Amino acid sequence: MSVSNRQIVDHWAQHASGVAVDWDQAHERCWRCGYRAELEKCPIVPESLGGTDTVDNLVLLCGRCGREAPVHQDPGYLWRWLRATSVSSHDTYWTLRGWEEFEVIFGRKPLECFKEAEVDHRSLNAECRALAADEFAKTVIHFGEGRLNPSTIACVIAEIEKKLADRHGITLP
């Protein structure tokens, strides 16, 4: 008998906490990134390491998060990873990863040069939103992924920052 997503959610709602979603949405949102997605039944301990196809050994993750999940015989690692990497705001995980990727690529925090600049930060926010819409329209998603990857998001942030800096006469590092 195949285990349903609802059975998995009902089980873990009684036994676990600290995932990215509320249990009432856990059948349709990834337990790590919080995005509404087609969820995969991911083993906590893989069958090859002694895991079973039962509710107490399955979690629901989107494909991207499932590929990043730890594969180990100790179930504690998967739960530790879920709690450490999940976000509390739905639909923000991959954008936040893009901001982190920006720091890796450029060696600094995005938009930090605007902190000290004498610009109206409310209008800067509006400019950012308008530029973001334009820049995201110039991107594509890798086949089969469903969302932009963090490095593409980092590049979009860099383009927004570059255009804002040009408009306000700020020199980027």
Residue ranges per domain, the chain? 5-85, 93-168
CB-based contact 97:73 (threshold 8 Å): no
- Percent of the residues in the chain that have a pLDDT greater than 70, as a whole number: 99
pLDDT at 140: 83
* Average pLDDT of the chain, as a whole number: 90
Look at residue 87 in the predicted model and tell me its pLDDT: 83
Of 87 and 40, the one with more pLDDT: 40
Run of H or E residues at 61:
strand 58-61
Q: What is the Cα gyration radius of the chain? A: 20
Give the pLDDT mean for 53-62.
95
- Confirm if 128 and 164 have CB atoms less than 8 A apart: yes
Mean per-residue pLDDT, 64-80: 94
pLDDT tens for residues 141-154? 877 777 788 999 99
For the cut 70, the answer to whether the pLDDT of residue 1 exceeds it is no
- Note the pLDDT of residue 164: 92
User: Exposed (0-12), middle (13-18) or buried (19+): which is 72, by Cβ within 10 Å?
Assistant: middle
Closest CA to 161 of 129, 128, 139: 128
Report the share of the chain in percent with pLDDT over 90.
Answer: 59
List, for residues 94-116, the tens digit of each pLDDT value: 889 999 999 999 999 998 888 87
